[in-house]
Chains A and B, each alone.
Chain A
Amino acid sequence: QKEVEQDPGPLSVPEGAIVSLNCTYSNSAFQYFMWYRQYSRKGPELLMYTYSSGNKEDGRFTAQVDKSSKYISLFIRDSQPSDSATYLCAMSDPYGGATNKLIFGTGTLLAVQP
């Protein structure tokens, strides 16, 4: 079993739709949860960062963490064609400081149709 599981998609939605992206994980030590967006042939860029459980909102994006279920989600409201990209979840435990490794999901390819 992989430490982090993510539905690879592809996911195709019409413009304006609400998008839900999800990851599950198995390591209960994970405390830091991130969502990255990666456009084709570019490096990932950080979208959202959450510590422990709870919700975090930033504009059209909402990240949720449910540690009891080992489940994290990213919601995109009013999706735009410019949101078309691969979305990667990533997580880490709190040990090791700056040398901590990120564990990535496989990424979900999202296409928002105009």
Chain B
Amino acid sequence: GAVVSQHPSWVICKSGTSVKIECRSLDFQATTMFWYRQFPKQSLMLMATSNEGSKATYEQGVEKDKFLINHASLTLSTLTVTSAHPEDSSFYICSARDIGPGLGYGYTFGSGTRLTVV
């Protein structure tokens, strides 16, 4: 089945630095990937929709200058948290949908990245 690889699985960084998270579709091409944020014991909050070769579409209230998204190829999207602060500490998850024939409708998720800003 479809596999989405996300790296790193966890990262600790100092306040003020930037962190890049990678999301790769391993066995399918994804023109669109989604980035979510999840706080403890809460559901997934969609941050942005990443489109290959074009600008990302951000959800209301998400700072596009703080959360930079690049979708450079059909298999790779990156999320960069710029000038990170402790309040950016969270669990970030990407997902993609493989729209190949006969594959159903489910979106595949990466394993998530736990970011801690100290």
Residues of A within 8 A of B (CB): 8, 32, 34, 36, 41-46, 49, 51, 88, 90, 92, 97-102, 104-107, 109
A101 vs B51: C-alpha distance when bound (angstroms)? 13
B67 within 8 A of A: no
Question: Are A102 and B107 touching (Cβ within 8 A)?
Answer: yes
**B109 and A43: CB pair below 8 A?**
yes
In the assembled complex, the CB of B56 is this many whole angstroms from the nearest CB of chain A, namely: 11
Contact for B112 among A8, A42, A90, A101, CB less than 8 A: A42
**Do A43 and B6 touch (CB < 8 A)?**
yes
A43, A45, A100, A104: which contacts B43 (Cβ < 8 A)? A104
- Report the minimal beta-carbon distance from B98 to chain A, rounded to whole angstroms: 9
Chain B residues in 8 Å Cβ range of A36: 109
Q: How far is the CB of A72 from chain B (nearest CB, A)?
A: 14
Chain B residues closer than 8 Å to A32, beta-carbon distance: 105
Contact A44 B109 (CB under 8 A): yes
